[in-house]
Structure 1
Amino acid sequence: GPGRGLKTAPIPRASAGELSPEAFYAFNENGRLPVIVEGEVKSHLASRMSFQDLKRLCGGGLTETSVYDPGTRGWAGLSGKKVMTMAAYLDAHILNRTKAADEDRDLVYSSGAVGLPEFCPKLQFFMPVPKYVATGVSPIDAHGVQPGQPEQYIGPTGTKTELHMDNFLIPFWMSVYKGAKTFRVILFEEIYDTPSLKAFFLDHKKTRWERKVPSSGGNGAVEKKELEIWRPDFAVFPELLEATVYEGTVNAGDWIFLPGGALHAVSNEGDSWGVSINALMPQAIETFADVCTKANFEWKCDAFAEAVSPTCRNLKDR
């Protein structure tokens, strides 16, 4: 099936209540490994909300929607961006969807781009920040006024994002309240340490990775083929055979932590709802410094370092 030939490893798991924050960072080597904590967010009020409740609470908020497109060059394989109210989105794509409509309609994903402080501030009371990441520092917009996170991702079964690396190269975490999300993850360290992966992923910074291949019509023409981690083409992207791909499903009530700089892609099963943040915790600062340096200060990680550290700012000003 799709993915056969990929060298996969399970994402390490722990249970809610099993690890203190200190033990958590010992378990994931100071933010270097992905971890799923099962049942961590079951007690959150959001876990008890229905999509109808979400519509009542936040229906007036604006969300950005998009569609997964295997051929697009856009970020994470998403295209066709549209802004709509959450009520309109939930009505059309979650609450009143029918099987007939499914067959002739694109799978529309409500994905990020609008942070809860702007989209629906009261929702934050329903989804507390887990103890492992309570001290995290998150980026805000260029004007310094609007936190773009926490942000939420809602999508029907079959919605997905393609392999991408988040800006700032800081850890990412997500609470999953509905459905299930399967993650495929390639660690930054491994990309950096494997010459073929480094040449492909790091030496050419992209929103979507691709390669030119002879076009099906022959006659010497070429076309671009986009990398798809959910249907890997090893003939075009043989590097993928060298990567260890961490894979794990985050079910409703579970929480996932991903290291900064990790390439990741997500596939949704069931009508899914997750809330995420990119943030830097004190325990992961050395890992961040290492990744940012090895990434040659790309992906805006230098800007993030300057924003959170007077020392970094002073060094730059010299």
Structure 2
Amino acid sequence: MSASTQSPESASTRFILKLSCPDQAGIVHAVTGILLEQGANILTSAQHGDADHRRFFMRIEFECAEARTATSLRAAFAPLSERLAMDWELVDAARKTRVLLLVSKLGHCLNDLLFRVQTGHLAIEIPAIVSNHRDFYQLAASHDIPFHHLPLLQASEDQKQAQERKLRELIEEQRIDLVVLARYMQILSPEMCRFLEGRAINIHHSFLPSFKGARPYHQAHERGVKLIGATAHYVTSDLDEGPIIEQDVARIDHSMTPDQLVAIGRDVECVTLARAIQWHAEHRVLLNGHRTVVFR
């Protein structure tokens, strides 16, 4: 079962189960049988079989006739999951994902996400915003969200480690489920990437795997491409190589300057990142090696 930081549980009637395991006959029957035994009614179900790797993926949303805790349902499901060698997660569908936002000096993704949450179009909680600059403390305050300034004034390894220790303490203290690099222009250490495996999303301002690294819009302009894009992916220690969750593009032409590409691209970045966060928060994304399965 995948690890996550959970707040104290309360009884609920609606849950989400997502799983992956080696593919074999009878998985759906076995899973739905356990749910039936627990008095569950399936509301939605999606599945995918990866023929190349012989692996099965499934997401089920269900409700119980009587209120239950996720812990009690996990206990009932555990023997089957062990027998089928599953990677799985079962969560209370009513519980909002707690998201920590990291940002540097470009605030378009941050502002977009805060607006979506404020207007009810993105059902997550944001307990804190972290930045290595002070630029957006007033924006955070306007949304009544604590702002944490964790500067990196020098490029020393000691300061980097100290800053990441504070970041890790905040993640644990606030019971953060997902960390979002909303144009956070710092590279996380391999240790931090391992700590956040499967629960940190980055937005990269190009259509990966093209134009990795810095100044991708300028790289795209030099190559004369006709489409630019943005990629939301899970963070790994390999820069811009993590499993891709969502991508989108915008058409451009030869008359546009790099600055115009940047302006167009920012809109694409906002939409792409918001979709990826929503799908992760709704437990629609399953890891499949270096790829993802996304049940939309």
- If the length of structure 2 is used for normalisation, what is the TM-score? 0.24
Of the two structures, which has the highest relative contact order with CA contacts closer than 8 Å and spacing of 6 or more? 1
- If the length of structure 1 is used for normalisation, what is the TM-score? 0.23
